[in-house]
C-alpha cells in the first residue's frame, strides 16, 4: 500500500469509529473504566485488559479493539490519580509520579498536577501511536526475512532481557521465572509430532494451557491475596480543585516531553519491559538533564511530565513488537496478544498480509483513545477521585469473582479455573520472594513459538547449529543474548571493573 | 516482597524447589521419543519433542544452583537458622497466617469445592460474603468466628461432593446442594448482624450493610451480564440461576 492509501485508510478508520455512536460510547466507556482501574490501588492495566477481554468475546473486531485499547490507555494514565491524591501509585507505572505529584497536591496544587499528567499522558500516547504507524510495517518487512532460528532467538532474547531488567532482586531469578514460563508453555501436545508432554494423563491438558486464564491468575490472584492479607487502608485524599490542562507548562517542557516519549517508546519496544520501567528511566533521565534537579522529590512539574509521558508512550512502543513479530512489549500487551488470538488475529510479520489495515486500525484507536482520555481526565477527575474512597476490602473480592467468571467464560472449561488459582498462588509465592512475573508471562506466551521454531530450524539445517552464527540477524541476537548473560555474571563484572580501573590509571 | 534481609534464606528454599522441578522436567523429557520412532515416523534428536524441555530442565537446574549458592554465600543458612530460632516458642498460627488462610479458604472453595456443586450465583454470594466479612470488618475475633463457620460448611459440602452423595441428593431435589449453600449464607449473615449489634458499634452496623449490599447485589449484576447478555452458561446453574432465567424469559 502506498503512503496516500495508508493515510486514506487511517482516516477511514478514524471516521468509521467517530461516526459509529456505539463504538464512540464504547471508547469513552472503556477509557473511563480504564482510568478507574488505574486509579484504584491493586487493580492494574493488565488486569483491566484481561477482564475486559472476556466481555469483548462476542463483539466485532473493531469494537473489541476500541474497548481493549481504550482500557489500556486509560489504565496507564489512571494510575496517576492515586499517586497524586493519596500518595499510593494506582499502578506501578505511576510510582514515579507519586514522588512529585503528592507534594504538589499537599501544596493545594492537585488539580494542576492532574492537568499536567492528563496532557502529558495524551501527548505520550499520540507520540507512541506515530511510532506504531512508522515502525510496525518496517519491522514487519524485516521480520519477513527471519527464519525459524531468528524467531527462536527472539523468544529467548525476550525472556533474557525481560528477566534482566524487570527483576527486583538477583537477575538469575528473572531468568528462572522465564524458564518456568517456558515449561508451562510445553504442557500439552507438541506442535510438530503431537506428542503429549507433561499432561499427567489429563485429557483437558492435551490442548495446552490457555494463555488468558493463566495471565488472569498471574496478575489478578496475587493482587487479591496481597491487598486482603496486608491490612490496606485508604489514606485520606487531598482536596481537588479544577483540573487545568496547563498548555503553557507543557510548551515550556517540550524538551522533556520529546526525550520522555522516545525513552517510553524505546523501552516499550523491548519485549516484556513494562510502563513502570519506562516511567522510572524517563524520570531519572529528566532529573539528570534538568536545570533544577533540586526540585525533584518536592513537586517538580518536569518530573511529573517525564514519568507520565513515558509510561503512556510505552503503550505505542509495546505495540510495535506485538504487531510486527507477535512478541509483546509489556505485560498488558501480553494480555492484548491473548485477546488478539481470541478474535482470530495472529500478530506477526504476516499480519498485514492476512489482515490488511489492522495496524492502522490500532493506530487510529490509539489516537482516539488518547483524545478520549484527555477529555474524560479533564472533565471527570472529581468523580474518579471519589472512587478512591472505595475500600479495597470490598473491591478486591468483586475482582475475584470477575477473574473467576472471566476465566471460565473463555472456553467454558473448568480446567481453566483449576489452573488459574494455583497459578495465582505460585505467582504470589514467587513475587514475595523476589521473582518477577513479566519473564514468566513472556515465557508462557513465547514458549510454543520458541519450541516449534528451534526444531523447525534444526530440521531444515539437518541438526546443524551453524545458522546461529552464519545468519547475520541470528548472530547479532546470539551476541546480544551472550552479552546479556555475561554482563550479569560476577566474573565479567570483575573483568569490566578491572578494565575500567586500568583505563583510569592510564 | 518479603524483607530483603530475609531473601537469601528463602532463596535456598525456592532455589531448591526450582532445582527439583528441573530434575523432574529432565526425567520426564528423557522418557519422550528422542531419536527413535514415534507414530511411525523416525525422529532425530533435533526434532524430538524432548529437545526444548531438556534445555529448560538443564537451564532451570543451573540457575537454581546459582540461586542456592548465592543464598548460602550471602548468609542464607544463618538467616534460616535465625528464623527457625525466632519461630521457636511462638504459636504456629499467627495473625498473618490466619489472614492468608482467610483469603485462600473462600477462593479455593469457590473453584475447587463449590464450582460444580452449588448454583453459581449463590457460589459468588458465598465467596463475596465470606471474604468481605473476614476483611472489611477488620475484627480479629469475628475473623476467627467467620473462618470457623465457613470451614465447617465447606467441609460438609466437600464431603458430600467428593463422596458422590450430592448427585443422589440432586436426584431427589435438583437444588438440594443450594440449600446447604444458602444455609451457609444465612448463618454467616446472621452471625455478622448479631456480632455488629452486640458490639454496639455504629461503624460495624454500617459496614455490615455494605457487606450485604456488595455480596448480594454484585453477583446479581455479574451473573445476568454473562448469562444473558454474553450468552455464557454458568459453571453450575441451580435454583437461583433457573429462577433468573424464568424471570428473564418471562419479561423478554
SS3 A253: coil
SS3 A71: helix
Buried b (16+ CB within 10 A) or exposed e, B31-54: ebbbeeebeeeebeebbbbbbbbb
The pLDDT value given to residue A243: 73
CB A322 within 8 A of CB A339: no
**Domain co-membership, B106 together with B49:** no
What lies within 8 Å, CB to CB, of A392 at 6+ separation is A40, A41, A42, A227, A228, A232, A234
Q: What pairing do the DSSP bridges indicate for beta strands A188-189 and A196-197?
A: antiparallel
Q: Which of B26, B52, B87 is the last residue of a domain?
A: B87
Please give the residue of chain B at the shortest CA–CA distance from A57.
B230
Whether residue B26 is predicted with pLDDT greater than 90 in this model: the reply is: yes
At A446 the pLDDT is 86
Q: Which of residues 46-65 of A touch B (CB under 8 A)?
A: 54-55, 57-58
Judge: B70–A170 Cβ closer than 8 Å, yes or no.
Answer: yes
Answer whether B127 sits within 8 Å of A397, measured CB to CB.
yes
Contact A95, A65 (CB under 8 A): no
**Integer Cα distance of A283 and A305 in angstroms:** 9
Of B60, B87, B114, which marks where a domain is finished?
B87
Task: Please determine, for residue B178, whether its predicted confidence score (pLDDT) is greater than 90.
Answer: yes
Nearest to A421 among B28, B48, B108 (CB): B108
Report yes or no: A182 at the B interface, CB cutoff 8 Å: yes
Between B127, B134, B210, which is nearest A400 by CB? B127
Cα–Cα dist A108/A182, whole Å: 49
> B67 and chain A: CB distance < 8 Å anywhere?
yes
Which residue in A398, A412, A447 is closest to B128 by CB distance?
Answer: A398
Residue pLDDT, tens place only, B123-161: 999 999 999 999 998 888 999 999 999 999 999 999 999
Kindly state whether residues B143 and B236 are assigned to the same domain.
yes
Phi and psi (nearest 5°) for B232?
A: -100, 115
| Alpha carbon distance B120, B245 (integer Å) | 13
Q: Give the three-state DSSP class for B37.
A: strand
Return the pLDDT at A242.
73
Question: Which pairs from B23-27 meet CB under 8 Å and 24+ separation?
Answer: B23/B57, B23/B61, B25/A183, B25/A198, B25/B53, B25/B56, B25/B57, B25/B60, B26/B53, B26/B54, B26/B57, B26/B58, B26/B61
pLDDT at position A430: 92
CA distance A349 to chain B (A): 24
CA distance B116 to chain A (A): 9
CB contact under 8 A, B52 and A455: yes
Q: Which residues of A touch B140 (CB under 8 A)?
A: none
Kindly state the cell numbers that stand for A37: 482501574
Q: Which of B87, B105, B136 is the last residue of a domain?
A: B87
B65 touches chain A (CB under 8 A): no
The predicted structure's pLDDT at residue A356: 87
Q: Is A229 on the interface with B (CB under 8 A)?
A: yes
User: What's the pLDDT at A309?
Assistant: 93
Query: How distant is the Cα of B171 from the closest Cα of chain A, in angstroms?
Result: 23
Give the nearest partner residue to A455 out of B47, B108, B134, using CB atoms: B47
- The whole-model pTM stands at 0.85
Check whether residue B161 and residue B247 sit in a common domain.
yes
Selected residue of A42, A168, A175, A179 to mutate for chain B interface (largest B Cβ count, 10 A):
A179
**CB spacing of A176 vs B127 below 8 angstroms:** no
Cβ proximity of A320 and A269 under 8 Å: yes
* B102 and B162 housed in the same domain: yes
- CB–CB contact B60 A433 (8 Å): no
Q: How many domains does chain B have?
A: 2
Higher pLDDT, B190 or A98: B190
Measured CA distances, A89 to A40, A84, A301 (Å): 9, 8, 17
Nearest residue of B to residue A188, measured between CA atoms: B49
**Inter-chain touch A435–B14, beta carbons under 8 Å:** yes
Distance CA A385, CA A106 (A): 15
Q: Are residues B101 and B76 in the same domain?
A: no
- Nearest by CB to A175, from B53, B63, B111: name it: B63
What residues of chain B lie within 8 A of the CB of A172, using their CB? 63, 66-67, 70
- Compute mean pLDDT per 10 residues along chain A, 506 residues long, and list them: 76 89 94 89 82 85 94 91 80 82 84 88 92 88 85 87 80 93 93 88 87 83 87 68 75 89 89 81 88 85 91 92 88 88 87 87 94 91 81 89 86 87 92 89 87 91 89 90 85 80 73
Residues 185-224 of A with CB under 8 A from B: 186, 190, 192-195, 197-198, 221, 224
Domain match, B80 and B164 both: no
Q: Which residue does chain A place closest to B131, by CA atoms?
A: A397
Strand, helix or coil for residue A273: coil
Alpha-carbon distance of A388 to B250, in angstroms, equals 39
- What's the pLDDT at A506? 65
Same domain, B129 and B246: yes
Q: Which domain holds residue B108?
A: 95-251
B73 and B195 inside one domain: no
> Which residues of B, range 112-131, sit inside 8 Å of A by Cβ?
112, 115-116, 120, 124, 127-128, 131
Q: Would you call A225 and B100 a contact, using CB atoms and an 8 Å cutoff?
A: yes
CA separation for the pair A243, B219 (Å, rounded): 35
pLDDT of residue A246: 72
Per-residue DSSP letter, A355: S
Same-domain status, B113 and B236: yes
> Same domain for B119 and B171?
yes
Q: Nearest residue on chain B to A400, judged by CA atoms?
A: B107
For residue range B37-46, list pLDDT tens digits in order: 666 666 788 8
Residue B135 to residue A228, Cβ atoms within 8 A: yes
Is there a contact between A50 and A406 (Cβ–Cβ < 8 Å)?
yes
Residue B111 and residue B151 in one domain: yes
What pLDDT is recorded for position A495? 82
List of chain A residues whose C-beta atoms are within 8 Å of the C-beta of residue B14: 429-430, 433, 435
Instruction: Please check whether residue A450 touches B, CB under 8 A.
Output: yes
User: Which residues in A lie closer than 8 A to residue B104 (C-beta atoms)?
Assistant: 225, 425
**Which pLDDT does position B41 carry in this prediction?**
65
Task: Enter the DSSP assignment of B109.
Answer: I
Q: Å from B88 to nearest chain A CA?
A: 23
Q: Is A463 on the interface with B (CB under 8 A)?
A: yes
Inform me whether the pLDDT recorded for B1 exceeds 80. Answer: no
Check if B16 contacts A (Cβ < 8 Å): no
Considering only the beta carbons, identify the residue of B25, B32, B127 that sits closest to A195: B32
Q: Is any Cβ of chain B less than 8 angstroms from the Cβ of A504?
A: no
B81 and B106 inside one domain: no
A413 touches chain B (CB under 8 A): no
Question: Could you tell me if B74 lies within 8 Å of chain A, comparing CB atoms?
Answer: no
Is B32 in CB contact (< 8 Å) with chain A? yes
pLDDT band at B248 (very low <50, low <70, confident <90, very high): very high
Kindly identify which residue of chain B lies nearest to residue A450, measuring between CA atoms.
Answer: B52
Amino acid at each position: 500500500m502506498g503512503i496516500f492509501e495508508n493515510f486514506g485508510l487511517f482516516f477511514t478508520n478514524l471516521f468509521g469509529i467517530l461516526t459509529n455512536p456505539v463504538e464512540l460510547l464504547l471508547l469513552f466507556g472503556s477509557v473511563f473504566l480504564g482510568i478507574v482501574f488505574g486509579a484504584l490501588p491493586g487493580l492494574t492495566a493488565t488486569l483491566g485488559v484481561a477482564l475486559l477481554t472476556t466481555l469483548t468475546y462476542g463483539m466485532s473486531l473493531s469494537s473489541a479493539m476500541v474497548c481493549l485499547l481504550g482500557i489500556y490507555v486509560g489504565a496507564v494514565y489512571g494510575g496517576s490519580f492515586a499517586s497524586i491524591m493519596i500518595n499510593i501509585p494506582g499502578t506501578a507505572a505511576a510510582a514515579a509520579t507519586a514522588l512529585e505529584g503528592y507534594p504538589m497536591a499537599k501544596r493545594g496544587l492537585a488539580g494542576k498536577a492532574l492537568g499536567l499528567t492528563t496532557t502529558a499522558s495524551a501527548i505520550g500516547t499520540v507520540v507512541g501511536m506515530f511510532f506504531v504507524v512508522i515502525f510496525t510495517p518496517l519491522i514487519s518487512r524485516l521480520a519477513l526475512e527471519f527464519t525459524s532460528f531468528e524467531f527462536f532467538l527472539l523468544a529467548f532474547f525476550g525472556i533474557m532481557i525481560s528477566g534482566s531488567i524487570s527483576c527486583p532482586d538477583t537477575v538469575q531469578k528473572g531468568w528462572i521465572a522465564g524458564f518456568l514460563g517456558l515449561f508451562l508453555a510445553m504442557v500439552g501436545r507438541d506442535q510438530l509430532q503431537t506428542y503429549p508432554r507433561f499432561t499427567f494423563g489429563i485429557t483437558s491438558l492435551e490442548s495446552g494451557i490457555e494463555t488468558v486464564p493463566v495471565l488472569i491468575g498471574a496478575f489478578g490472584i496475587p493482587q487479591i491475596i496481597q491487598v486482603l492479607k496486608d491490612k490496606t487502608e485508604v489514606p485520606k485524599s487531598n482536596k481537588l480543585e479544577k483540573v487545568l490542562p496547563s498548555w503553557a507548562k507543557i510548551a515550556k517542557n517540550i524538551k522533556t516531553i520529546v526525550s520522555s516519549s522516545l525513552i517510553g517508546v524505546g523501552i516499550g519496544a523491548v519485549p516484556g519491559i513494562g510502563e513502570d520501567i519506562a516511567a522510572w528511566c524517563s524520570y531519572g533521565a529528566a532529573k539528570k538533564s534538568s536545570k533544577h534537579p533540586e526540585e525533584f522529590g518536592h513537586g517538580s512539574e518536569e518530573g511529573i511530565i517525564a514519568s507520565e509521558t513515558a509510561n503512556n508512550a510505552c503503550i505505542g512502543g509495546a505495540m510495535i513488537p506485538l504487531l510486527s513479530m507477535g512478541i509483546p512489549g509489556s505485560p498488558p500487551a501480553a494480555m492484548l496478544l491473548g485477546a488478539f488470538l481470541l478474535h482470530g488475529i495472529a500478530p506477526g510479520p504476516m499480519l498485514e498480509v492476512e489482515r490488511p489495515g489492522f495496524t492502522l486500525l490500532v493506530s487510529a484507536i490509539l489516537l482516539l483513545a488518547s483524545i478520549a482520555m484527555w477529555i474524560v481526565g479533564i472533565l471527570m477527575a472529581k468523580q474518579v477521585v471519589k472512587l478512591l474512597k472505595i475500600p479495597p476490602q470490598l473491591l478486591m473480592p468483586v475482582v475475584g469473582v470477575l477473574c473467576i467468571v472471566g476465566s471460565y467464560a473463555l472456553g467454558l472449561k473448568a480446567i481453566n479455573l483449576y489452573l488459574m488459582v494455583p497459578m495465582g498462588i505460585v505467582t504470589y509465592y514467587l513475587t514475595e520472594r523476589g521473582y518477577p512475573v513479566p519473564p514468566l508471562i513472556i515465557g508462557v506466551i513465547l514458549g510454543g513459538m520458541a519450541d516449534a521454531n528451534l526444531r523447525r530450524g534444526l530440521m531444515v539445517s539437518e541438526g546443524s547449529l551453524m545458522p546461529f552464527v552464519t545468519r547475520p540477524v541470528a548472530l547479532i541476537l546470539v551476541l546480544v543474548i551472550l552479552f546479556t548473560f555475561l554482563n550479569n555474571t560476577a566474573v565479567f563484572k570483575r573483568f569490566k571493573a578491572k578494565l575500567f580501573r586500568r583505563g583510569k590509571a592510564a | 516482597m518479603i524483607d530483603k534481609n530475609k531473601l537469601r534464606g528463602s532463596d535456598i528454599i525456592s532455589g531448591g524447589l526450582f532445582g527439583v522441578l528441573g530434575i523432574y522436567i529432565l526425567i520426564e523429557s528423557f522418557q519422550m521419543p528422542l531419536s527413535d520412532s514415534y507414530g511411525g515416523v523416525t525422529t532425530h534428536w533435533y526434532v524430538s519433542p524432548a529437545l526444548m524441555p531438556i534445555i529448560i530442565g538443564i537451564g532451570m537446574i543451573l540457575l537454581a544452583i546459582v540461586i542456592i549458592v548465592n543464598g548460602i554465600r550471602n548468609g542464607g543458612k544463618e538467616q534460616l537458622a535465625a528464623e527457625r530460632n525466632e519461630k521457636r516458642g511462638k504459636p504456629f498460627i499467627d495473625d498473618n497466617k490466619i489472614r492468608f488462610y482467610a483469603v485462600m479458604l473462600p477462593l479455593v472453595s469457590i473453584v475447587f469445592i463449590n464450582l460444580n456443586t452449588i448454583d453459581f450465583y449463590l457460589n459468588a454470594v458465598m465467596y463475596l460474603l465470606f471474604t468481605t466479612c473476614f476483611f472489611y470488618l477488620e475484627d480479629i475475633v469475628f475473623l476467627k468466628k467467620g473462618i470457623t463457620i465457613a470451614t465447617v460448611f465447606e467441609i460438609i459440602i466437600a464431603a458430600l461432593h467428593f463422596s458422590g452423595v450430592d448427585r443422589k441428593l440432586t436426584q431427589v431435589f435438583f437444588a438440594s446442594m443450594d440449600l446447604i449453600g444458602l444455609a451457609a449464607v444465612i448463618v454467616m449473615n446472621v452471625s455478622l448482624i448479631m456480632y455488629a449489634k452486640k458490639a454496639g458499634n455504629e461503624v460495624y452496623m454500617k459496614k455490615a450493610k455494605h457487606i450485604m449490599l456488595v455480596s448480594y447485589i454484585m453477583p446479581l449484576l455479574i451473573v445476568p451480564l454473562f448469562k444473558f447478555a454474553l450468552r455464557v452458561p454458568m459453571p453450575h446453574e441451580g435454583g437461583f440461576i433457573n429462577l433468573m432465567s424464568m424471570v428473564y424469559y418471562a419479561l423478554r
